[in-house]
Amino acid sequence: MGIGERDPHTGHMTTGHEWNGITELNTPVPRPVYVFLAAAALFAILYWVLMPAWPTGGSYTKGLLGYDQRAAVAESLREAALGRAALTKKIAAEGFDAITADRDLMDTVRQTGRALFGDNCAACHGREATGNKGFPNLTTASWLWGGSPETIAETIRVGINSAHPDSRTSQMPAFGRDGVLPRIEIENVVAYVKSLSEPQSARGHEAAVAAGRKVFASTCAACHGEQGTGNSELGTPNLADQFWIYGGDSETLVKTVWGGRQGQMPTWEARLTPVERKILALYVYDLRRRQ
Ligand code: HEC
Ligand code: HEC
| Residue 196 scores a pLDDT above 90 | yes
pLDDT digit string, tens, across residues 127-138: 999 999 999 999
How far is residue 208's CA from residue 105's CA, in Å, rounded to a whole number? 53
For the Cβ of 143 lying below 6 angstroms from any atom of ligand 2, the answer is no
Of 59 and 235, more confident: 235
In angstroms, what is the span from residue 172 Cα to ligand 2's centroid?
A: 4
Please state, rounded to an integer, the average pLDDT across all residues of the chain.
93
CA 228, chain centre distance (Å): 33
For the Cβ of 186 lying below 6 angstroms from any atom of ligand 2, the answer is no
Average pLDDT estimate for 212-236: 97
Instruction: Report in angstroms the alpha-carbon separations of 191 from 199, 204, 208, 266, 285.
Output: 10, 11, 7, 33, 33
Q: What is the pLDDT of residue 40?
A: 96
Which ligand is nearest to the Cα of residue 137, counting in written order?
1
In angstroms, what is the span from residue 146 Cα to ligand 1's centroid?
A: 12
One-letter amino acid of 262:
Q
How far is residue 164's CA from residue 150's CA, in Å, rounded to a whole number? 18
Q: What is the pLDDT of residue 137?
A: 96
Burial of 133-146, coded b for 16+ CB within 10 Å and e otherwise, reads: eebbbbbbebbbbe
pLDDT digit string, tens, across residues 22-36: 888 888 888 999 999
Length, in residues, of the chain: 291
Contact 162, 265 (CB under 8 A): yes
pLDDT digit string, tens, across residues 164-180: 999 999 999 999 999 99
How far is residue 173's CA from residue 250's CA, in Å, rounded to a whole number? 18
Mutate to test the pocket of ligand 1, among 125, 261, 288 (most ligand atoms within 8 A of CB): 125
Instruction: Report in angstroms the alpha-carbon separations of 73 from 21, 78, 108.
Output: 65, 9, 22
Contact 282, 95 (CB under 8 A): no
Residue whose C-alpha is closest to residue 107's, from 128, 125, 83, 126: 83
Contact 246, 256 (CB under 8 A): yes
For the Cβ of 261 lying below 6 angstroms from any atom of ligand 2, the answer is yes
For the Cβ of 173 lying below 6 angstroms from any atom of ligand 2, the answer is yes
Nearest ligand 2 atom, CA 175: 38
**C-alpha dihedral sign at 173, 176, 181, 185:** positive
| Residue 2 scores a pLDDT above 60 | no
How far is residue 46's CA from residue 69's CA, in Å, rounded to a whole number? 18
Mutate to test the pocket of ligand 2, among 144, 189, 261 (most ligand atoms within 8 A of CB): 261
How far is residue 26's CA from residue 264's CA, in Å, rounded to a whole number? 91
For the Cβ of 242 lying below 6 angstroms from any atom of ligand 1, the answer is no
In angstroms, what is the span from residue 138 Cα to ligand 1's centroid?
A: 8
Contact 149, 281 (CB under 8 A): yes
Instruction: Report in angstroms the alpha-carbon separations of 84 from 24, 54, 79, 107, 109.
Output: 71, 37, 9, 11, 11
Residue whose C-alpha is closest to residue 190's, from 225, 229, 220, 232: 220
Residue 1 banded pLDDT, cuts 50, 70, 90: very low
pLDDT digit string, tens, across residues 63-111: 888 888 888 888 888 887 777 888 889 999 999 999 999 999 999 999 9
In angstroms, what is the span from residue 289 Cα to ligand 2's centroid?
A: 26
Residue 291 banded pLDDT, cuts 50, 70, 90: low
In angstroms, what is the span from residue 111 Cα to ligand 1's centroid?
A: 20
**C-alpha dihedral sign at 31, 33, 35, 38:** negative
